[in-house]
Structure 1
Amino acid sequence: MGEVMGFVGAYVQLRPLGGGREWDVAPHSVRRASPEERLKASLAVANNRSSRSGLG
């Protein structure tokens, strides 16, 4: 799962939700995430940040 950052040529550029390196994907391979998928991804990012900061 990634956040759409833009379009380069025939590709969609995605970036991981928690940040990181972008990657190119063919447009036919991209779909909108469901609300459940977005919630799970957001929680995973928050949990990862919490565990890295030593707060968890």
Structure 2
Amino acid sequence: MSGEYAVDVRDGRVGQIMGREGGYVQLRPVGGGREWDCPPEAVGAAPPGEVLRERVRRINREGRLP
């Protein structure tokens, strides 16, 4: 399960599964960033298109940095 991508169905954020801590699934945004805790019942499968879309957004943001 760790390393796979998932969606937090509460708000639609896509993240990479980093592990479990205290009964929660820890997700990290695609491409890095601050992890967040998600209840296991709110974790859904991330469609490949959504993962790709998040990766492109991250690359675009990084390209705009000075």
Please tell me the TM-score bracket, short chain as reference. Answer: 0.7 to 0.9
Q: Give the C-alpha shift of residue 44 in structure 1.
A: 0.2
Query: Which of structure 1's runs of 4+ aligned residues deviate more than 3 A?
Result: none
CA contact (8 A) 2:30 2:55 kept: yes
So what's the TM-score if we normalise by structure 2? 0.70
CA distance in 1, matches of 2:32, 2:63: 15
2:32 aligned with 1:16: no
More strand by share: 2
> 2:26–2:37: 8 Å Cα contact kept in structure 1?
yes
Which protein has the larger Cα radius of gyration, Structure 1 or Structure 2? 1
Q: Which has the higher helix share?
A: 1
Q: State the number of aligned residues.
A: 53
Instruction: Calculate the TM-score normalised by the size of structure 1.
Output: 0.80
Quick one: distance in 1 between partners of 2:31 and 2:51? 12
Identical positions, percent: 45
Greater RCO, CA 8 A, separation 6+: 2
Unpaired runs of 5+ in structure 1? none
Q: CA deviation at 1:45?
A: 0.6
**SS of equivalent residue, structure 2 residue 44:** coil
Q: How far off its partner does 1:4 sit? A: 0.8
